[in-house]
Amino acid sequence: MSFFCEKLNCALGGKPVLKNISGKFEAGKITAILGPNGCGKSTWIRALLGLVKLQSGEVVGLPERKGYLPQKKEIYWPLACEAIVELGSRVSGLGVPALERLGIGHLKDKRIDEVSGGERTLVLLARALRDRPDLIIADEPVAELDPKHQMRVMQALKEEASRGAAVIVTMHDIQLTAQFADFVFLMRDGNVVFQGAPDAVLNPGNLKTVFGVIFVEDKGLYVR
């Protein structure tokens, strides 16, 4: 199920954070939002979900069945990881398969407050994917993860897109974005400055404009 937002404007603490942001999010595709820290990535996806107050603009066609992995992954309930994944589910027994899908089935009986930050991310992502929602929004889903689990997470998100879900991720890893995303928004200072297919958007010139550093293209992109 595809949806779109149009001319979103938002201010936090009196400071404009989103400036006339528009975008379409396609079912069956991974859309990645990239940009430097503080550019508005997290605010944009929170605005899509109705979690921040907009000054103007609208979100049209937002799917009802959603899975969300927030940027701040603190959780304060001293429950087993399996129980965390199953919170809010109408169907029992989904926790272990969801954990195993991300390679962390061995954590099912471990308390969430006893696992590492990266493991906590995986547990909460397992919960977001548990019910096979129509929309998956993941804020920095590969942060704090080792390369093996980064790939496992991105492959799981690709599988969700392949079955027809709209997947939106915020990212900092340009290589993973180029490998897995179908469409990319590059943000700077609350604006979308470039958008399109990864091979068209993720070039050294655009990346220098957005991140302020020089990227060298030689069998991939590297910072110089």
Residue 190 shares a structural domain with residue 138? yes
**Structure-block tokens of residue 48:** 């899509």
Residue 103 shares a structural domain with residue 209? no
**pTM assigned to the model:** 0.92
Residue 183 shares a structural domain with residue 106? no
Residue 175 shares a structural domain with residue 99? no
Range of the domain at 8: 3-65+134-223
Please list the pLDDT of the chain residue by residue as tens digits (224 residues). 789 999 999 999 999 999 999 999 999 999 999 999 999 999 999 999 999 999 999 999 999 999 999 987 777 778 999 999 998 887 788 899 999 999 999 999 999 989 988 899 999 999 999 999 999 999 999 988 999 999 999 999 999 999 999 999 999 999 999 999 999 999 999 999 999 999 999 999 999 999 988 877 655 555 54
For tokens 């990227």, the residue is 215
Residue 117 shares a structural domain with residue 172? no
Helices 147-162 and 117-129: angle between axes, nearest 10 degrees: 10
Angstrom distance (rounded) from CA 190 to CA 42: 11
The number of distinct structural domains making up the chain is 2
Angstrom distance (rounded) from CA 70 to CA 73: 6
What is the C-alpha end-to-end distance of the chain, expressed in Å?
40
Contacts 24+ apart (CB under 8 A), 74-78: 75/112, 75/113, 75/120, 75/124, 76/113, 77/112, 78/111, 78/112, 78/113
Domain end marker among 113, 132, 151: 132
Residue 35 shares a structural domain with residue 98? no
Residue 140 shares a structural domain with residue 193? yes
Residue 19 shares a structural domain with residue 38? yes
Evaluated on CA atoms 140, 141, 145, 147, the torsion sign reads negative
Residue 145 shares a structural domain with residue 210? yes
CATH number at residue 8: 3.40.50.300
Residue 76 shares a structural domain with residue 10? no
